Amino acid sequence: MTTTNIREAYIDVRKLSETICEPLETEDYVPQPVPFVSPPKWHLAHSTWFFETFILKSFDPDYKVFDPAFNYLFNSYYNNVGDRTLRTDRGNVTRPTIKDVYAYRHYVDKHVTRLLSASLVEKMFPLIQLGLQHEQQHQELMITDIKYILGHNPIFPVYHSEHNLVNSENAESGFVKITEGVYEVGYSGNDFCFDNELGRNKTYIQNFEISKALVTNEEYLEFMNAGGYQDFNLWLDAGWAWVNENAIDAPLYWHKIEGEWFYYTLSGLQRVNPKAILSHISFYEASAFAQWKGMRLPTEFEWEVVSNELNWGQRWEWTNSSYLPYPGFTKAAGAVGEYNGKFMINQMVLRGASVATSPNHSRSTYRNFFHTHERWQYTGIRLVK
């Protein structure tokens, strides 16, 4: 994206968010079944709030906010911007209506595109870039949150008949060998990256081999049938507690019906495809499976140095690396500095991208991060020996 095509990029990204929501009924926009899932209506409004707050309020002296209450309702975690509604209460915000939220989006879009036609583009460029990348992150979250909302409806409604998203299969097999040595990791270049990718640094890596293929449903079924969820020797202590406290015995969305495994997809409830790539796995499950196979998960640095030899992008891939800052990492001043840095504790890094990732939103240095028990994203397993 350059300053010459930023207006077109803005329109395309904003349109995709609304396209994702086209199959929804009005009632689908509001539910919040668990705290980590946000209603689609909230995602639409929050991504709009970002542009209103960081672009229009900063660069358009004549701009009048759409509704002063929206700053409280649709701020996510930016303490520098002011008070906000609790994350657990996002599903309780039945008003404003979805009609009001779409009016809000179109109002902000009108003012932003007008501003992008002015001479301020270069000054706004970094924040516009960040805002579009931010919305693309929320587009992926919308897809996974919609799946969670509909997937916990007892009638397993269809979102879209052509959006299964979990049927992809591996195109390669075997292992890639990497020799020990000092390698450089971290972003290098002039295009966009998040601040947590910066601080290109050297790391020493031992000899290892990494699988060209991700673990399939068939392979994971073998683990399940061998008593993988019942063998405490395979699990990290916190993982074993999680399994028992939550009665976990299968990946998320799997249901055993009359002796056969089915899973919920965005195309509805379907039989598990044994050859398809496994999805919706927690770090705990990935770690236990690797232990059962006599292998391990890659570190994020191992993954990055071999990424150009892997066919990645179908699933977010768990690594055995804690989410920590690179050498020399510094947080930006103000609200923008809250974007990544304050979350660098108690989470694990995932690499790659997924079938739900927006176009042009993936690169080999991208560092995603989630808590060890979370599995509503399209997460999978790649093994190392």
State the pTM of this model: 0.97
Tens digit of pLDDT for each residue in 300-330? 999 999 999 999 999 999 999 999 999 999 8
DSSP letter (8 states) at residue 64: -
Cis peptide before 274 (omega within 30 of 0): no
Banded model confidence at residue 120, pLDDT cuts 50, 70, 90:
confident
Strand partners, 322: 348
Q: Are 71 and 65 within 8 A, CB to CB?
A: yes
CA–CA dist 32, 92 (Å, integer) = 8
Phi, psi angles (nearest 5°) of residue 107:
-65, -50
**Max alpha carbon distance in the chain (Å)?**
66
Q: What pLDDT score does 200 carry?
A: 96
Tens digit of pLDDT for each residue in 123-148? 899 999 999 999 999 999 999 999 99
Amino acid letter, residue 134: H
CB atoms inside a 10 Å sphere around CB 313: 14
Where residue 239 falls (left for φ over 0; alpha for ψ -120 to 50; beta otherwise) is alpha
Whether 119 has a pLDDT exceeding 80, the answer reads no
Is CATH 3.90.1580.10 the right assignment for the domain spanning 175-380?
yes
- Sorted by where each begins, the domain ranges of the chain are 6-151, 175-380
Whether 337 has a pLDDT exceeding 90, the answer reads no
